[in-house]
Amino acid sequence: MDEAGMSEAGMDGVGRNKSGMGTSVDRIANPWGGRTPYDRHRSWPTRVDTRLGAGVEPDQVQRWVQAASILHSDGDAMDVAVVDGRMVGVRGRADDRVNRGRLGPKDLFGWQANASEDRLTRPLIREGGRLVECDWDTAMDRIVTRSRELTEERGPGSIGFYTSGQLYLEEYYTLAVLARAGIGTSHLDGNTRLCTATAAEALKESFGCDGQPGSYDDFDHADVVALFGHNIAETQPVQWMRLLDRLEGGDPPRLVCVDPRPTKVARRAAVHLAPRAGTNVALLNALLHEIIRTDRIDHDYIAAHTVGFEELASRVRECTPQWAAAVCDVPAASIAEAADVLGDADRLLSTVLQGVYQSHQATAAAVQINNLHLIRGMLGRSGAGVLQMNGQPTAQNTRECGADGDLPGFRNWQNDAHVADLAKVWNVEPESIAHYAPPTHAMQIFRYAEQGSIRMLWISGTNPAVSLPELARVRSILRQERLFVVVQDLFRTETAQLADVVLPAATWGEKTGVSTNADRTVHLSDKAVEPPGEARPDLDVFLDYAARMDFRDKDGGPLITWHDPEAAFEAWKRCSAGRPCDYTGITYDKLRGASGVQWPCNEQAPDGTARLYTDGISWAHPDVCESYGKDLETGASDEPVEYRSLNPDGKAVIRAAAYLPPHETPDVDHPFQLTTGRTLYHFHTRTKTARAPQLNEAAPDVWVEASVSDAAALGLGEGDLVEVGTLRGALRGRLRVTDIRPGLLFVPFHYGYWDTATGHGPSGGAPGRAANETTVTDWDPASKQPLFKTAAASLRLVEHANGSHAPAPTTTASAPCRADAAPPTVGGAAALATETTGTSHHTGGRDIR
């Protein structure tokens, strides 16, 4: 690797590093960068990653503006480099607890999308079938007029809001107040429904309340890390760097990986289980069976802190490894081996993500992982914790602010005292906050729009025309004449093309706000540059709407009393007071210049809280809990009296679940299982990462992964153009032959369709390329999260490769099984970033146990 010509002056600014020179690394070819090994119970050394645009020297940077990353849930802290009012680069923040200076490839290069020439700069309205530019007054008038008509003629339930996991806390809170108390609709949810609804639900089921028990610092202390359906190497690359550093240090952890694909995690695991998709509950029940059978459980912890153990023990009594081996198609010996590793762990850390949350029996499976920790007493101690992960950068805020299907502050919609308390915070009558039924979930919102009871749908910060299942249906819903669709985005997305009004939004770097990551760490992102044209922060748009609608509290004063991000944050603090996500000890000033802070942060915990449940379970008592629980099989909500008799003292609830077969299983016409997911270099529907050349070129188009034996049986090879079909639709892409489990196909869901009108491919009626053309409208009964990870599919040849290869990265889970099948993924000179290691107050070998 050559040195990137970094000057001494640059080093100064980068890492307070007087001793070492920065190293220049191609971070497309080498996504995780260089190693900084460290020993167990030591703190993770600092490594500051910096990327400046071509031709920009460090000493030319005029301002570094503090922010946190927005292309995953890790919350990596960074500074944005500014020259003459333009963003010119980024560097990681050495002093932050989350990343200690490191950045992943998406964050090193993704910022370039902000300056894309095709950003939306003016509002658009539909006139004579076409979207035409207009001014803000015209666009907002149209929205307000329709809102008034609808609420008068059809009531508040005719309006729905579908938001994001990518705006800021202040924006969600404002939206929640205006939707729930201003309009008075309960149809408000986020795309977090597709993302981490199961994380929230599993926490509610086990602990009575949302709130991540563990901390990223647990990575430093665990002796076993178990990853369930979580490709952390690609989806949280910075925490994977941390694991890689521990794997190369003293007393490394053993990894257990449950994933049907040959991810980098799988390749480094002590035990890799590659189950049939959709069989997580069977596998977990067998693991629990073995651990209980061999009595590697913490009887004292179970007695002191849980209810329901007996039911679990009897439920898994017959779930032997042999039984699960047949269901999951995993060797019984491997299941027993995994149970040994988990059962012998001294400090076990588990992480859970979409291979569980978007798969069959999502909540039931996620809850069994909580159970594993409860019966082993692996909670609330350093290294012993569970991370029911988030995916999006601010999904946690969507949940806590009540912009998803929950009430703000993790209040319980079935508890009248909680509703009354919220009404007091907002100075409205409790009856004006809809709570006669659970807040509507996103899949139901789209169903209501399809059926005609919702007549206006306001979509902010999400691209459902690519990301929801069964796209042909989604297009037909959004295209209806009777549905008034508002889309608030940066670009003219597939969804924006179907809108009646499009509002140009400012984004990260162009506005100020707070985001909370997957381990409850709160970061502030400050505005670094002006948004393009007339684009406005989402907060300003929501405030403008609230002002035009003239929403009032019960005394006739304005319902929403704030006008800027900081005041919105202060208002939210009042709403969070006394609840688990208590922000009252945090201010913008406290977040500036320092590391992020983990909530709850209040008078009792002025520096924040590393781990929840260090001293027993605190938010499960019937009077304070967010939820009384649900039946995991049907999703029916339990009644308060049932919960009170089940769990009078507010302990953790151990909920057992029987394995049920997936709804759609392979047959003669659709002999494969199909799963969908991510690659390291792209984010979701690629509105940002496709506009960063380094990222785009690393994975420029869709592909299909199949196993060696399946490819051979069908006479297929690398690069063949293939068609994947399900009962819903089909897509085409080039084949990549990998070590994926036989019988399973994988398609990344990042690639939108080519033809907005039809969803078809470039050549007329040919199938498109979006994974969600094929996925099913079906969801987990408890969390209502759609099932993107289990479908039955066919695979057929369209055209042989003729020397081409799949446009899939070779550095990741999509690596070809034959190394010479495709040229290696590299970024070259355009993809160099600097890494600076050395002293900072996080190193020095201090024991932080």
From the list ligand MGD, Mo ion, none, pick the one residue 355 interacts with, judged by a Cβ distance below 5 to 8 Å according to partner type.
Answer: ligand MGD
Token reading at 536: 């406005």
Closest CB to ligand MGD among residues 95, 136: 136
User: Which DSSP state fits 825?
Assistant: P
User: Which DSSP state fits 529?
Assistant: S
Scanning 41-49, 195-203, 276-284, 431-439 for contacts with Mo ion by CB under 5 A, the matching segment is: 195-203
C-alpha–C-alpha distance, residues 81 and 62, integer Å: 7
Closest CB to ligand MGD among residues 491, 551: 491
C-alpha–C-alpha distance, residues 833 and 688, integer Å: 19
- The correct pick among 391, 402, 464, 513 for binding Mo ion (CB under 5 A) is 391
Residue 771 binds Mo ion (CB under 5 A): no
Closest CB to ligand MGD among residues 174, 392: 392
Scanning 339-347, 390-398, 447-455, 724-732 for contacts with Mo ion by CB under 5 A, the matching segment is: 390-398
In this structure, are residues 838 and 20 in contact, taking their beta carbons and an 8 Å threshold?
Answer: yes
Closest CA to 580 of 394, 785, 377, 412: 412
The total number of residues shown for the chain amounts to 849
C-alpha–C-alpha distance, residues 374 and 377, integer Å: 5
From the list ligand MGD, Mo ion, none, pick the one residue 812 interacts with, judged by a Cβ distance below 5 to 8 Å according to partner type.
Answer: none
Taking the complex as a whole, how short is the minimal distance between the CB of residue 565 and ligand MGD, in angstroms? 13
**Residue-wise DSSP of 602-626:** SSS-TT--S-S-BTB--S-STTT-S
C-alpha–C-alpha distance, residues 673 and 659, integer Å: 18
Token reading at 339: 């149970």
From the list Mo ion, ligand MGD, none, pick the one residue 751 interacts with, judged by a Cβ distance below 5 to 8 Å according to partner type.
Answer: none
Nearest residue to ligand MGD on Cβ basis? 391
**Bridge partners (DSSP) listed for residue 349:** 225, 385
Residues found near ligand MGD in the complex (CB under 6 A): 72-73, 106, 164-167, 191, 194-195, 228-231, 234-235, 258-261, 263, 275, 277-278, 280, 353-355, 358-359, 391-392, 460-464, 466-467, 488-491, 493, 505, 507, 538, 675-678, 680, 682-685, 687, 749, 771-772, 775, 788-789, 813
C-alpha–C-alpha distance, residues 168 and 521, integer Å: 14
Backbone angles phi, psi at 241, to 5 degrees: -60, -40
From the list Mo ion, ligand MGD, none, pick the one residue 788 interacts with, judged by a Cβ distance below 5 to 8 Å according to partner type.
Answer: ligand MGD
Taking the complex as a whole, how short is the minimal distance between the CB of residue 130 and Mo ion, in angstroms? 33
Taking the complex as a whole, how short is the minimal distance between the CB of residue 401 and ligand MGD, in angstroms? 15
Closest CB to ligand MGD among residues 11, 175: 175
Tell me the three state secondary structure of residue 302: helix
**Bridge partners (DSSP) listed for residue 307:** 653
Closest CB to ligand MGD among residues 134, 273: 273
From the list Mo ion, ligand MGD, none, pick the one residue 619 interacts with, judged by a Cβ distance below 5 to 8 Å according to partner type.
Answer: none
- β-pairing, 47-52 vs 832-837, is antiparallel
Closest CB to ligand MGD among residues 363, 382: 363
Taking the complex as a whole, how short is the minimal distance between the CB of residue 767 and ligand MGD, in angstroms? 15
Helix (H) or strand (E) holding 725: strand 721-725
Closest CB to ligand MGD among residues 105, 156: 105
Taking the complex as a whole, how short is the minimal distance between the CB of residue 91 and ligand MGD, in angstroms? 20
Please give the single-letter amino acid code of residue 461: G
From the list ligand MGD, Mo ion, none, pick the one residue 258 interacts with, judged by a Cβ distance below 5 to 8 Å according to partner type.
Answer: ligand MGD
Burial of residue 454 (number of CB atoms within 10 Å: 0-12, 13-18, 19+): buried
Map tokens 């520096």 to a residue.
607
From the list ligand MGD, Mo ion, none, pick the one residue 491 interacts with, judged by a Cβ distance below 5 to 8 Å according to partner type.
Answer: ligand MGD
Closest CA to 47 of 76, 6, 71: 76
Closest CB to ligand MGD among residues 440, 507: 507
Burial readout 783-795 (b: 16 or more C-beta within 10 A, e: otherwise): bbbbbbbbbbbbb
The alpha carbons of the chain give a radius of gyration, in whole angstroms, of 25
Taking the complex as a whole, how short is the minimal distance between the CB of residue 230 and ligand MGD, in angstroms? 5
Taking the complex as a whole, how short is the minimal distance between the CB of residue 741 and ligand MGD, in angstroms? 9
From the list Mo ion, ligand MGD, none, pick the one residue 180 interacts with, judged by a Cβ distance below 5 to 8 Å according to partner type.
Answer: none
C-alpha–C-alpha distance, residues 231 and 354, integer Å: 9
From the list Mo ion, ligand MGD, none, pick the one residue 44 interacts with, judged by a Cβ distance below 5 to 8 Å according to partner type.
Answer: none
Closest CB to ligand MGD among residues 232, 620: 232
Taking the complex as a whole, how short is the minimal distance between the CB of residue 215 and ligand MGD, in angstroms? 19
Residues 357-386 that bind Mo ion (CB under 5 A): none
Closest CB to ligand MGD among residues 275, 409: 275
Query: How many residues sit in the footprint of Mo ion (CB under 5 A)?
Result: 2
Helix (H) or strand (E) holding 727: none
- In the chain, the N- to C-terminal Cα span, in Å, equals 37
Closest CB to ligand MGD among residues 75, 629: 75
Residues 6 or more apart whose CB falls under 8 angstroms from that of 394 comprise: 70, 164, 165, 166, 167, 168, 169, 172, 515, 516
Scanning 388-396, 549-557, 655-663, 791-799 for contacts with Mo ion by CB under 5 A, the matching segment is: 388-396
Taking the complex as a whole, how short is the minimal distance between the CB of residue 265 and ligand MGD, in angstroms? 8
Residues 6 or more apart whose CB falls under 8 angstroms from that of 658 comprise: 281, 285, 315, 633
From the list ligand MGD, Mo ion, none, pick the one residue 261 interacts with, judged by a Cβ distance below 5 to 8 Å according to partner type.
Answer: ligand MGD
From the list ligand MGD, Mo ion, none, pick the one residue 259 interacts with, judged by a Cβ distance below 5 to 8 Å according to partner type.
Answer: ligand MGD
Taking the complex as a whole, how short is the minimal distance between the CB of residue 298 and ligand MGD, in angstroms? 25
Scanning 20-28, 190-198, 438-446, 673-681 for contacts with Mo ion by CB under 5 A, the matching segment is: 190-198
In this structure, are residues 107 and 509 in contact, taking their beta carbons and an 8 Å threshold?
Answer: no
Backbone angles phi, psi at 525, to 5 degrees: -115, 120
- β-pairing, 456-460 vs 721-725, is unpaired
In this structure, are residues 158 and 150 in contact, taking their beta carbons and an 8 Å threshold?
Answer: yes
From the list Mo ion, ligand MGD, none, pick the one residue 493 interacts with, judged by a Cβ distance below 5 to 8 Å according to partner type.
Answer: ligand MGD
Taking the complex as a whole, how short is the minimal distance between the CB of residue 236 and ligand MGD, in angstroms? 6
Q: How many CB atoms lie within 10 A of CB 781?
A: 16
- The correct pick among 48, 195, 535, 744 for binding Mo ion (CB under 5 A) is 195
Closest CB to ligand MGD among residues 186, 488: 488
Residues that bind Mo ion (CB under 5 A): 195, 391
